[in-house]
Structure 1
Amino acid sequence: MRRENSDFKTSFLSEAGSFMQNRDYFAFTELDDMVCWVAVKGLDTDQEMKSAQLAVKTVLESFMEKPSLSRSSVKRYLKKAHQHLQAQSLRVRLKASIVIVVSDYSKLIYAVAGNSRFYHFRNSTLLHRSNDQSLAQEIINEKNRSFEINMHDEKSNLLNYLGKPNDFKPYISKKMKLMDGDVLLLATPGFWEDVNEIEMADALELAKDPIQYTDILEEVLLSRQNKVINNYTVASIFVNKVYVESNKKKSKYIKIIAAALIATLIVGGSTLFYQAKQAKKLAELAVDMRDHDETGNIYFGDASFDEALMEYSKGRNIAKQLKDPVHRNLLGTKLRVTQLIINGDKAAEAGKFSEAMEQYEKASQEGKIVKNFGNDVIDQKIANMDSIVQIVEATKDGDNHFNTEDYFKALAAYEKARKRAVAISFSGESQIKTKIDETEEKIAELKKAQKELKAESLEKSGDNSYAKQDYANALNSYVLAQEIYQETELLAKVLGLERKIMNVNEKLNPVLPNPVADVSSTLDPLDNEDIFSEDIEKGGE
Structure 2
Amino acid sequence: MLSRTGGRPTNQDAYGFWPNHNNCFLALSDGAGGHSGGDYASKLAVKEALEFFQRNPVCSVDSIAGALRAANAAIVEAQRQTPQFAEMHATVVVLAIDSEIGTAIWGHVGDTRLYCFRNQRILLQTRDHSVLQTMVDAGYLPSGEVRGSPQRNLLLAALGGANGFEPCIEATAFAVQDGDVFLLCTDGFWEHVDETQMEQALQSSASQEDWLRRLESLVIAHGGEEQDNYSALAVSCKAHARVI
Is 1:108 the counterpart of 2:109 in the alignment? Answer: no
Residue 222 (structure 1) aligns with: 220
Is 1:95 the counterpart of 2:93 in the alignment? Answer: no
- Structure having the larger proportion of residues in helix: 1
Residue 187 (structure 2) aligns with: 189
Residue 34 (structure 1) aligns with: 23
Post-superposition Cα deviations, 1:320-375, rounded to whole Å, max 9, x if no partner, equal: xxxxxxxxxxxxxxxxxxxxxxxxxxxxxxxxxxxxxxxxxxxxxxxxxxxxxxxx
Residue 120 (structure 1) aligns with: 116
Aligned mates of 1:202, 1:40 — CA distance in 2: 26
Q: Could you list the runs of 5+ residues in structure 2 that have no partner in the other structure? A: none
Residue 48 (structure 2) aligns with: 58
The secondary structure found in structure 2 opposite 1:195 is coil
Check 1:114–1:225 CA distance in 2 against 1; reply closer, same or farther (3 A cut). Answer: closer
Post-superposition Cα deviations, 1:136-156, rounded to whole Å, max 9, x if no partner, equal: 111111227543221334321
CA shift, 1:167, in A, is 2.0
CA shift, 1:120, in A, is 0.5
- The question of whether the paired residues in 1 share the 8 Å contact of 2:132 and 2:141 is answered with no
Aligned mates of 2:77, 2:174 — CA distance in 1: 33
Is 1:83 the counterpart of 2:73 in the alignment? Answer: yes
Based on CA coordinates, which of the two structures has the bigger radius of gyration?
A: 1
Aligned mates of 2:60, 2:18 — CA distance in 1: 17
Aligned mates of 1:228, 1:110 — CA distance in 2: 31
Post-superposition Cα deviations, 1:35-54, rounded to whole Å, max 9, x if no partner, equal: 11111000111426611111
- The question of whether the paired residues in 2 share the 8 Å contact of 1:86 and 1:163 is answered with yes
- Aligned-residue sequence identity (percent) comes to 26
CA shift, 1:243, in A, is 8.5
Aligned mates of 1:183, 1:160 — CA distance in 2: 27
Is 1:147 the counterpart of 2:137 in the alignment? Answer: no
For normalisation by structure 2, the TM-score amounts to 0.90
Aligned mates of 1:72, 1:129 — CA distance in 2: 21
What amino acid is aligned across from residue 31 of structure 1 in structure 2?
N
Aligned mates of 1:242, 1:39 — CA distance in 2: 27
Post-superposition Cα deviations, 1:157-203, rounded to whole Å, max 9, x if no partner, equal: 11111001232110001311111111110000000001111111001
Aligned mates of 2:10, 2:156 — CA distance in 1: 25
Say which of 160, 163, 170 aligns to 1:163.
160
What amino acid is aligned across from residue 97 of structure 1 in structure 2?
T
CA shift, 1:242, in A, is 6.5
Post-superposition Cα deviations, 1:457-479, rounded to whole Å, max 9, x if no partner, equal: xxxxxxxxxxxxxxxxxxxxxxx
Tell me the number of residue pairs that the alignment of Structure 1 and Structure 2 aligns: 234
The secondary structure found in structure 2 opposite 1:97 is strand
Check 1:209–1:69 CA distance in 2 against 1; reply closer, same or farther (3 A cut). Answer: same
The secondary structure found in structure 2 opposite 1:62 is helix
- Structure having the larger proportion of residues in strand: 2
Post-superposition Cα deviations, 1:478-536, rounded to whole Å, max 9, x if no partner, equal: xxxxxxxxxxxxxxxxxxxxxxxxxxxxxxxxxxxxxxxxxxxxxxxxxxxxxxxxxxx
Aligned mates of 1:237, 1:115 — CA distance in 2: 19
The CA RMSD measured in Å over matched residues stands at 1.8
- The question of whether the paired residues in 1 share the 8 Å contact of 2:129 and 2:157 is answered with yes
The secondary structure found in structure 1 opposite 2:237 is strand
Aligned mates of 1:47, 1:160 — CA distance in 2: 21
| Range moving further from structure 2, 155-164 or 67-76 | 67-76
